Structure 1
Amino acid sequence: MGVHAAGFAKPLGFTDAQLFSAIHGSAEDPVCSQDKAPIFRLADELYATNHSGGATARHVITVTWTRLYA
């Protein structure tokens, strides 16, 4: 767990399940609300493209952008 999660999660009202999901989970976890899931999915995809050789917006799948603009 990072220092920011350790220091700020509880005071901001994050539950243990939410904190665990933020670190180890995905946008499909039950603790992730439907309105926030596309943001988590975007972060996961940008992280994945960054570690595969280049993080640019064109690498993020169209479905994620469509959900964000909905």
Structure 2
Amino acid sequence: DALKRLERNGLVTRTVLPTQPIGVEYAITPLGHSLREPFEALCSWAAANGDKVEAATLHYDNTGNRR
């Protein structure tokens, strides 16, 4: 489960709420917040280069390089 991995890695905290039915709240930790800048950079790169990556993938697949 992705949320469990994020919690295990210290990126989110999980709090069980004393409600009926029982609720759960997740919050981003300071370590998780530290990923904002790298993720924004990655998203910007993907937006700027997505067409090039797709073209390279199609070229590779169309030239018989698949295993």
- TM-score, normalising length: structure 2: 0.34
Greater share of strand: 2
Give the number of the structure whose alpha-carbon radius of gyration is greater. Answer: 2
- TM-score, normalising length: structure 1: 0.33
